[in-house]
Amino acid sequence: MAVGLSEPVNILPVAGIELASVACGIKSDGRDDLVLFKIDPGSSCAATFTKNAFSAAPVVLAKKHLTQSPPRALLINSGNANAGTGEQGLQDAVQSCEWVARAIQCNPEEVLPLSTGVIGEPMPMDVLDSGVKLVSQQLSTDNWMAAAQGIMTTDTVAKAISKQITISGKLITITGISKGSGMICPNMATMLAFIGTDAKVENSYLQQCLDNAVAKSFNSITVDSDTSTNDACILMASGASETPLIKADSADATTFSQAVDEVCLHLAQSIVRDGEGATKFVSVNVVTAASLSEARDVAYTIAHSPLVKTALFASDPNWGRILAAVGRAGIENLVLEDVSLYLDDVCIVSGGCRDAAYTEEAGQKVMDQSEITIKVALGRGDISTTVWTTDLSHDYVTINSDYRS
């Protein structure tokens, strides 16, 4: 069950972006599995993709299409990753773009294909063909929640958020959806995330906003330390609001970028809260580091540790596992006496050893919570970072053992 996460409400349409979701038969359980976005001409688009060397065919093709033309459509299927499928997988991705282009009257290179699901299985092209025809007939600006459900795989809760801000006296909407629950340790973005706005944004600045937001959100989460072959995050700006063009030096640039940050952070944290089998939502906060890289090394070493994660599941204040993770994070010339460790506001370690005032009862009280902050002060500088993660439960093993069943 998701930790502190429920079905989203008040998800708003975005002028200039239509979308739809249908069940075409890729998933065997009858759930929606095909989503289509149709984007107005003249829109700008930014994207980040997985750095996994075995990138899925749709990722390869989407990156190529982005260099050729501004996107007019996104086609997303769930239930089949079209990864590890060789030349046939790439041909299938090309064919799917041609079907979309025919359905909505655009060019194939204006379509970005994206997939999520089981790796190594051929795409069922017959059902995909009929699905494209069906989904293209149901496009509407008000289908964001349906799309959030259509991209789900092992997710237990749809993930979506809407935010409105004022730009040049006009109300601007930013709406985003994401999916992800397992195979989460992004090296660019998340499993899949799609964000749309009716603001008019210069393409280079839109990419800058997305890159900055991803670094602080989707690239700061982990469930199981596995980076997917299919990760993608797409940010679309339709310009339908007819506000002045937002550029890096615009008066409203900071307002817009902060809103994108907030949307991405909410979606990224929602993925962690819905981590496969998760019973804890854990913030790992590393402070007083000498550099961002060493702060992230410490945070991720803690967040990836099976021993730390299983202690979290057991609500066991076994702080020695956390201290050991800090010690093996590879920080050169670490002065142990300068290191402090906290569970929420309970100081466990100071001066490099157990704090004199710490009690097992105080640690237990924190560990019994469903939301916990692990804070590590390295005493080396003024840099800090936060990574969000989960515990590791019996259900995680069960879910992934049964994934293809």
Q: Indicate which residues carry an active-site annotation.
A: 190
Angle formed at CA 15 by CA 12 and CA 16, multiple of 5 degrees: 135
Q: Write out the DSSP string of 230-262.
A: S-EEEEEE--TT-PPPB-TTSTTHHHHHHHHHH
Q: Is 31 left (phi over 0), alpha (psi -120 to 50) or beta?
A: beta
Count the neighbouring beta carbons within 10 Å of the beta carbon of residue 397: 12
The tally of CA atoms less than 13 A away on the side-chain side of residue 241 is: 24
Sheet order of strands, 73-80 included:
17-22, 34-39, 73-80, 111-118
Q: Which residues contact 155 (CB under 8 A, 6 or more apart)?
A: 179, 180, 181, 274
Contact 71, 111 (CB under 8 A): yes
Q: Is 126 exposed, middle or buried (0-12, 13-18, 19+ CB in 10 A)?
A: exposed
